Amino acid sequence: MKSSATKKDAAPEIVSNDSLVQSRLPARTGTASRDPAAAPGKTLAELLATDANDAPAFDTTVISGETARMFKTLLGNLDGMVYRCRDDENWTMEFVSEGCRRLTGYDASDLLLNNRLSYESLTHPDDRRRIREEITNGLQLLQRFDTEYRIMHASGEVRWVWERGAGVYSEAGDLIAIEGIIQDITERKSSSQALREAERRYYSLFENAIEGIFRTTLDGQYLDANPALARIYGFESAQELIAKLKDIRHQLYVDPSRRDEFMRLIKARGVVANFEAQIYRKNGEVIWISENARAVHNPDGHVICYEGTVEDITERKLYQARIEQQANYDTLTGLANRSLLHDRLQQAILSAANYGTRLAVVFVDLDRFKFINDSLGHHVGDELLRAMAERLKQSVRESDTVARLGGDEFVLLINGQRDPDAVAVVLERMLSDISQPWTIPQGDFNVTCSIGVALYPDDGDTAETLLKHADTAMYRAKEKGRNNFQFFTAELNALITQRLELENKLRRALERQQFELHYQPRIDMQSRKIVAAEALIRWQVSEHEIVPPSRFIPIAEEIGLIAPIGKWVLRTACEQNKAWQDAGIPPFVMSVNVSARQFRQENFVQIVADVLRETALDACYLEIELTESAVMHDAEQFIAMLGELNDLGVQIALDDFGTGYSSLSYLKRLPVDRLKVDRSFVQDIATDADDATIVRTIVALGHNLGLKVVAEGVENEQQLEFLRDNQCDELQGYYFAKPMSASDFAHAVFGSTE
Ligand SMILES: Nc1nc2c(ncn2[C@@H]2O[C@H](COP(=O)(O)O[C@H]3[C@@H](O)[C@H](n4cnc5c(=O)[nH]c(N)nc54)O[C@@H]3COP(=O)(O)O)[C@@H](O)[C@H]2O)c(=O)[nH]1
């Protein structure tokens, strides 16, 4: 294939010397490239036809030997191969410089006149056509050509070369040859290829990243944004984001001061890591993002832009918030829970200490919550707790804490008070707010609460102490009739200390055998004979200290000691009764008091059965006394258990009857044997018409239900007469006998010492 621009000359004669190999060319030729050193009509090859030290092979008026030598040296040192070739199908080389070997791996003589191989055959087959077109174009336009292509090196390697050349023309304008230079650019090619590959990879990362990536000017104009950033911010494309998001501070940040903080950090440190903020998406939706960014410097060290990444962390934030909510807030009411209360209390103490103010720790317990919960159901109970929680929140400031400890117990922290009177004002309001009627479909309810207050620093300086003291004060409020508040006092403190001491002693009382049972007889009205004895526990703490059961039984219930103590009472009373029977005393019923908590023990009926079996006492000689209030409180559950006791043959008495708001429908269903009229009604029976009526009514009620009625606390003849006139069945009281030790009882009642 030949260029149409070429006019083929006859093949020249080959001439060679040490460093240059040339063909002899026609004497007067011109070149399209303008070389100032070249004389007109002489080609470079001709000019270099001789070694500098040799006699010149051309006209010395044209180029001196020194110049020829210089050209030769230059060509030798040139990085690449200088050539002259024909414009034919082989690019037949007429001249190649020494660089030929380094460039192609072949000697110059191998290429000259296609001696061993042609330059065309060296050219990579995939590039041959393109190269020829490019060179031909250049030649046709009489322009220098400049191109890059691959050649096959003698080693078999593919090398990238760069070639620049131009046509050499006769004076008549015919193309005589092509002259130029070819250089190996393999290294440059591979590094620029690597660069392009790296750019491609980074671009792909930028485009496909899940995280948003941005570059902004120093004043916050977007230079670049990737599709992920557009997606996060809710734009259709990165272009739209760049075009529309012009004021990051106001358009993007929910709180513009966060943008100020971001800028402050990046200016101060050059980097910002995990910077969290809430932002508006394009549609106004608010999301959480986390940004990492850095300042980009130019070689002079000046910051030219900021670049960074953006992650949408909304999901994580919501999850964190959920976890935090669960960990710190009560699920029913949304109030702070015990754990958060504890943190807030610690902080509030520190703050009160710093500012010299008082902190009020307020313990609130709803009065008779259990009644509503049990009678109207737990869902109504939950509603009530939510409603009261809201009222408590309304009664204090936003900065105060309202927490729910569980059940119907709430704690409030009222900060920044200097004067207890100011706290009292808040509490008055709280009592009033809580007691407003609570209206639900089932009706209107007036709920009240009991409030106890402990003040920091007056009543304690630790969270535990303040909570404990507020709790104690709340109990005092309950004792004082509910619906009131009580401040913790030194007197209360003394009571607590005593109580703690008592608790400790009580824990060791059983093992120290400090308990004893006393027995009080119960008399049949008709026969005036003893039909029963009530076992009453006594605690001899020390030689001089006896603690009455009314004091220690409630404590034993609270601290979980009632079960072992109650079991001891049951066993001792049954053993004693059996012992008296075995001693020949006419059998009578042994009545044992059982507290509500003891009765609710899972295996109570089983315990009774075991004790009866172990002591060999016939069940009909055992009576269990339960207070009316305890039974009515949990009537459904009690009915079933009382039935089981009844099945054992054990008798049941309802103690303190008249004080426990019995439901008649329940009473009818309860498998009880006796009603024991509370002592308080018997006391003034002869003088108080109301009490007399109550007692008469209870007797009539009991009889109508087929039950026996016992009067407690009979102390005088008048009471006895009234009870006799009103057909009371049995009597118990100091009038007959006080509770006595077992030996005194046997002696006094049966004339026996045992
Ligand atoms: N769970 C248990 N409770 C018990 C036990 N032992 C006693 N108790 C309960 O403690 C409360 C106080 O009992 P106590 O101090 O023993 O007083 C009893 C009698 O001494 C007293 N009483 C009897 N007659 C009269 C009297 O004529 N006048 C008067 N002022 N007091 C009198 O009444 C108490 C017995 O009452 P009750 O039980 O209601 O029949 C008391 O509630 C006991 O129940 C125990 O082992 N377990």
Model pLDDT for residues 345-376, shown as the tens digit of each residue: 999 999 999 998 999 999 999 998 988 888 88
Please tell me whether residues 173 and 274 are part of one structural domain.
Answer: no
Cα separation of 68 and 56, whole Å?
Answer: 8
Q: Whose CA is closest to atom 25 on ligand 1? A: 713
Ligand 1 atom, smallest distance to 598 CA: 1
pLDDT of 629 reads 81
In a domain, 2, yes or no: no
Ligand 1 atom, smallest distance to 735 CA: 27
pLDDT of 37 reads 37
Ligand 1 atom, smallest distance to 536 CA: 6
CB 402 within 8 A of CB 336: yes
Using pLDDT thresholds of 50, 70 and 90, give the confidence band for residue 752.
Answer: low
Q: Whose CA is closest to atom 35 on ligand 1? A: 536
DSSP string, 184-237: E-HHHHHHHHHHHHHHHHHHHHHHH-SSEEEEE-TTS-EEEE-HHHHHHHT-SS
Distance 610 CA to ligand 1 centre (A): 26
Q: Provide the 8-state DSSP code for 153.
A: -
CA 118 to each of CA 92, 94, 185, 407, 699: distance values in angstroms, whole numbers, following the listed order = 6, 11, 21, 101, 138
With a 6 Å cutoff on the Cβ, whether 739 touches ligand 1 is yes
DSSP collapsed to 3 states, 395-426: CCCCCCEEEEEECCEEEEEEEEECCHHHHHHH
Sequence-distant (≥ 6) Cβ neighbours of residue 251 within 8 angstroms: 245, 280
With a 6 Å cutoff on the Cβ, whether 682 touches ligand 1 is no
Enter the tokens of residue 127.
Answer: 């590039």
In a domain, 3, yes or no: no
- Indicate the residue among 488, 517, 539 that finishes a domain: 488
pLDDT of 509 reads 96
Task: Reply yes or no on whether the pLDDT at 11 is more than 70.
Answer: no
The average pLDDT across 136-161 equals 95
Please tell me whether residues 163 and 217 are part of one structural domain.
Answer: no
With a 6 Å cutoff on the Cβ, whether 569 touches ligand 1 is yes
pLDDT of 754 reads 52
Cα separation of 161 and 181, whole Å?
Answer: 10
Task: Reply yes or no on whether the pLDDT at 163 is more than 50.
Answer: yes
Nearest to 590 by CA among 605, 606, 612, 558: 612
- Indicate the residue among 456, 488, 520 that finishes a domain: 488
In a domain, 405, yes or no: yes
Sequence-distant (≥ 6) Cβ neighbours of residue 573 within 8 angstroms: 517, 535, 590, 592, 622
With a 6 Å cutoff on the Cβ, whether 548 touches ligand 1 is yes
Distance 636 CA to ligand 1 centre (A): 26
Please tell me whether residues 71 and 155 are part of one structural domain.
Answer: yes
Distance 522 CA to ligand 1 centre (A): 13
In a domain, 496, yes or no: no
What CATH number is attached to the domain comprising 406? 3.30.70.270
Cα separation of 301 and 221, whole Å?
Answer: 21
Mutate to test the pocket of ligand 1, among 557, 567, 568, 593 (most ligand atoms within 8 A of CB): 593
With a 6 Å cutoff on the Cβ, whether 593 touches ligand 1 is yes
Ligand 1 atom, smallest distance to 625 CA: 38
Q: Whose CA is closest to atom 44 on ligand 1? A: 593
Nearest to 355 by CA among 288, 449, 418: 418
Nearest to 553 by CA among 542, 562, 543: 562
Worst-scoring range by mean pLDDT, 93-102, 289-298, 423-432, 490-499? Answer: 490-499
pLDDT of 22 reads 40
Sequence-distant (≥ 6) Cβ neighbours of residue 530 within 8 angstroms: 521, 522, 523, 524, 588, 749
With a 6 Å cutoff on the Cβ, whether 136 touches ligand 1 is no
In a domain, 498, yes or no: no
With a 6 Å cutoff on the Cβ, whether 536 touches ligand 1 is yes
pLDDT of 46 reads 52
Percent of the chain with pLDDT over 70: 91
Q: Whose CA is closest to atom 7 on ligand 1? A: 536
Distance 280 CA to ligand 1 centre (A): 73
By CB neighbour count within 10 A (0-12 exposed, 13-18 middle, 19+ buried), where does 712 fall? buried
Please tell me whether residues 554 and 703 are part of one structural domain.
Answer: yes
Q: Whose CA is closest to atom 42 on ligand 1? A: 550
Enter the tokens of residue 21.
Answer: 């190999």
Q: Comparing 506 with 63, which gets the higher pLDDT?
A: 506
DSSP collapsed to 3 states, 232-275: HHCCCCHHHHHHHCCCHHHHHECCHHHHHHHHHHHHHHCEEEEE
Enter the tokens of residue 27.
Answer: 């004497």
Q: Whose CA is closest to atom 41 on ligand 1? A: 550
Using pLDDT thresholds of 50, 70 and 90, give the confidence band for residue 63.
Answer: low
Model pLDDT for residues 657-694, shown as the tens digit of each residue: 988 766 777 788 889 999 999 999 999 998 999 999 99
pLDDT of 68 reads 77
Cα separation of 488 and 497, whole Å?
Answer: 13
Ligand 1 atom, smallest distance to 549 CA: 10
Nearest to 24 by CA among 14, 9, 10, 38: 14
Nearest to 583 by CA among 731, 749, 732: 749
Distance 537 CA to ligand 1 centre (A): 9
Ligand 1 atom, smallest distance to 594 CA: 1
pLDDT of 664 reads 75
Distance 732 CA to ligand 1 centre (A): 11
Distance 210 CA to ligand 1 centre (A): 78
- Indicate the residue among 488, 523, 557 that finishes a domain: 488
Please tell me whether residues 255 and 292 are part of one structural domain.
Answer: yes
What is the three-class DSSP state of 368? coil
Ligand 1 atom, smallest distance to 569 CA: 46
Using pLDDT thresholds of 50, 70 and 90, give the confidence band for residue 500.
Answer: confident
With a 6 Å cutoff on the Cβ, whether 655 touches ligand 1 is yes
With a 6 Å cutoff on the Cβ, whether 733 touches ligand 1 is yes
With a 6 Å cutoff on the Cβ, whether 715 touches ligand 1 is yes
Q: Whose CA is closest to atom 29 on ligand 1? A: 713
Distance 520 CA to ligand 1 centre (A): 9
Cα separation of 364 and 451, whole Å?
Answer: 5
Interface predicted TM-score (ipTM) of this complex, two decimals: 0.95
In a domain, 8, yes or no: no
- As a whole number of Å, the CA-based R_g of the chain is 56
pLDDT of 2 reads 39
Distance 348 CA to ligand 1 centre (A): 47
With a 6 Å cutoff on the Cβ, whether 712 touches ligand 1 is yes
Q: Whose CA is closest to atom 46 on ligand 1? A: 537
Alpha carbon distance, N-terminus to C-terminus of the chain: 144
Distance 712 CA to ligand 1 centre (A): 9
Task: Reply yes or no on whether the pLDDT at 103 is more than 60.
Answer: yes
With a 6 Å cutoff on the Cβ, whether 549 touches ligand 1 is yes
Ligand 1 atom, smallest distance to 683 CA: 28
Please tell me whether residues 386 and 343 are part of one structural domain.
Answer: yes
In a domain, 224, yes or no: yes
Q: Provide the 8-state DSSP code for 55.
A: P
With a 6 Å cutoff on the Cβ, whether 656 touches ligand 1 is yes
Ligand 1 atom, smallest distance to 732 CA: 24
* Residues listed for the chain: 754
Mutate to test the pocket of ligand 1, among 518, 519, 536, 716 (most ligand atoms within 8 A of CB): 536
Percent of the chain with pLDDT over 90: 73
What CATH number is attached to the domain comprising 231? 3.30.450.20
Distance 461 CA to ligand 1 centre (A): 41
Backbone φ and ψ of 166, nearest 5°: -155, 160
In a domain, 66, yes or no: yes
Side-chain-side CA neighbours of 170 within 13 Å: the count stands at 12
Distance 254 CA to ligand 1 centre (A): 70
Which structural domain, as residue segments, surrounds residue 452? 329-488
Please tell me whether residues 304 and 348 are part of one structural domain.
Answer: no
Q: Whose CA is closest to atom 22 on ligand 1? A: 713
Distance 673 CA to ligand 1 centre (A): 19
Please tell me whether residues 555 and 692 are part of one structural domain.
Answer: yes
Distance 557 CA to ligand 1 centre (A): 16
Total domain count, the chain: 4
Instruction: Please name the amino acid found at residue 300.
Output: D
Distance 144 CA to ligand 1 centre (A): 127
DSSP collapsed to 3 states, 11-48: CCCEEECCCCEEECCCCCCEECCCCCCCCCCCCHHHHC
Q: Whose CA is closest to atom 33 on ligand 1? A: 713
pLDDT of 7 reads 34
Beta bridge mates, 184: 161
Which ranges of 624-716 does DSSP label H, i.e. alpha helix? 628-633, 635-648, 664-669, 679-683, 689-704
Enter the tokens of residue 37.
Answer: 């050193």
CB 84 within 8 A of CB 94: yes
CB-CB neighbours of 518 under 10 Å: 18
With a 6 Å cutoff on the Cβ, whether 520 touches ligand 1 is yes
By CB neighbour count within 10 A (0-12 exposed, 13-18 middle, 19+ buried), where does 750 fall? middle
Please tell me whether residues 52 and 177 are part of one structural domain.
Answer: yes
Please tell me whether residues 429 and 560 are part of one structural domain.
Answer: no
The average pLDDT across 49-53 equals 39
CB 231 within 8 A of CB 258: no
420 cis-preceded (ω within 30 degrees of 0): no
Please tell me whether residues 597 and 729 are part of one structural domain.
Answer: yes
Ligand 1 atom, smallest distance to 517 CA: 46
Distance 536 CA to ligand 1 centre (A): 6
Cα separation of 363 and 229, whole Å?
Answer: 52
Model pLDDT for residues 437-477, shown as the tens digit of each residue: 999 988 888 899 999 999 999 999 999 999 999 999 999 99
pLDDT of 637 reads 79
Nearest to 185 by CA among 215, 217, 148: 148
Sequence-distant (≥ 6) Cβ neighbours of residue 349 within 8 angstroms: 359, 456, 461, 462, 463, 466
With a 6 Å cutoff on the Cβ, whether 595 touches ligand 1 is yes
Distance 679 CA to ligand 1 centre (A): 10
Using pLDDT thresholds of 50, 70 and 90, give the confidence band for residue 52.
Answer: very low
CB 590 within 8 A of CB 615: no
Please tell me whether residues 339 and 420 are part of one structural domain.
Answer: yes
Q: Whose CA is closest to atom 26 on ligand 1? A: 713
